[in-house]
Amino acid sequence: MDKAESWLYKTLHYRFEDADLLKQALTHRSATGSNNERLEFLGDAVLDLVISDAVYRARPDATEGDLSRLRASLVKEKTLAALALELGVGEYLVLGGGEMKTGGHRRESILADALESIVGAVYLDSGIEAARDVIERVFAKRLDELPAADELRDPKTRLQEWLQARGMGLPEYELVNVTGKAHKQTFEVSCRVGQTVSVTHGTSTTRRKAEQKAAADMLAELLESQA
């Protein structure tokens, strides 16, 4: 058993029948030989299925939209990369010279892809139940600490739903100002609800983010006024 196999057995309690699958799962396309792109494709699908099943069972009263948001929060690149980092995946990656020099073993996209590839490799090696065991072990803490569904809705959506539930009109967003050079602009957006005097503002590097900030402040004001 080589170092990578030993690491996987200690961290995830899984031992490959075909060790070459693990080697391939850890090999980035920048390196020579077989890489993990096909395994990543397969692992992505297996991960979606298992996580969908897990959140479905964990939240029996959640709507389809809430379940989708919960799943997305778990399988997004940032989460997968964080999990891969916690597991120490980066130490066993096989990278090309360029990626090694630029810190590829810490790059989010590479770590996330590698974790999906490991899942795909386990599935090919031993089937769906073995893959499920590995996934549930990797995601155990995050599945135990699933956030409330409404925490995953973006501020604009939450504001709109709050207003609609009270028969109020939709919020109006207006671009107030744009500063900075084309490649590094700052956007200021206002948010107004109905004919209220109160107007909130949000500033960020994109118009969308600025709108989200303005919406978050408006929702906070409305909730405070109702308290």
- pLDDT at 154 > cutoff 90: no
In the listed set 101, 119, 147, which residue is the last one of a domain according to the structure? 147
Determine whether 2 is an active site residue. no
Length, in residues, of the chain: 227
Q: What is the CATH number for 86? A: 1.10.1520.10
Q: 29 with 48, same domain?
A: yes
Q: 40 with 127, same domain?
A: yes
CB 191 within 8 A of CB 199: yes
- pLDDT at 196 > cutoff 70: no
Contacts (Cβ under 8 Å, ≥6 apart) of 146: 55, 58, 59, 70
Print the domain residue range for 195.
153-226
Burial status of residue 96 (CB atoms within 10 A of its CB: 0-12, 13-18, 19 or more): middle
Q: 160 with 195, same domain?
A: yes
DSSP assignment of 122-153: HHHHH-HHHHHHHHHHHTHHHHHTPPPGGGGS
Mean pLDDT of 192-196: 79
Q: 180 with 124, same domain?
A: no
**Global pTM?**
0.73
Q: 102 with 32, same domain?
A: yes
Give the C-alpha separation, 63 to 26, whole Å: 37
SS3 193: strand
Sheet holding 186-193, edge to edge: 171-179, 186-193, 199-204
Instruction: Please pick, among 113, 116, 125, 188, the residue that the annotation labels catalytic.
Output: 116
List, for residues 27-81, the tens digit of each pLDDT value.
Answer: 999 998 899 999 999 999 999 999 999 999 999 988 898 899 899 989 999 999 9
| Type of residue numbered 160 | Q
Q: 95 with 204, same domain?
A: no
In the listed set 100, 120, 147, which residue is the last one of a domain according to the structure? 147
Q: 117 with 56, same domain?
A: yes
Q: 125 with 210, same domain?
A: no
In the listed set 115, 147, 179, which residue is the last one of a domain according to the structure? 147
CB 50 within 8 A of CB 131: yes
Q: 162 with 138, same domain?
A: no
Q: Which of 146, 131, 25 is nearest to 79 (CA)?
A: 146
Number of structural domains the chain divides into: 2
Within 10 angstroms of residue 79's Cβ, the number of other Cβ atoms is: 17
List, for residues 132-148, the tens digit of each pLDDT value.
Answer: 999 999 999 999 998 87
Q: 17 with 51, same domain?
A: yes
Instruction: Please pick, among 40, 44, 125, 217, the residue that the annotation labels catalytic.
Output: 44
Q: 172 with 212, same domain?
A: yes
Q: What is the mean pLDDT of the chain?
A: 91
Q: Which of 206, 200, 202, 216 is nearest to 155 (CA)?
A: 216
SS3 167: coil
**How sure is the predictor about 192, in pLDDT bands with cuts at 50, 70 and 90?**
very high
- Lowest-pLDDT range of 123-132, 145-154, 167-176: 145-154
Determine whether 18 is an active site residue. no
CB 164 within 8 A of CB 82: no
Q: 171 with 121, same domain?
A: no
Half-sphere exposure of 68 (CA within 13 A, CB side): 4
Give the C-alpha separation, 110 to 140, whole Å: 22
- pLDDT at 1 > cutoff 80: no
Torsion of CA 39, 41, 44, 49, to 10 degrees: -100
Q: What is the CATH number for 179? A: 3.30.160.20
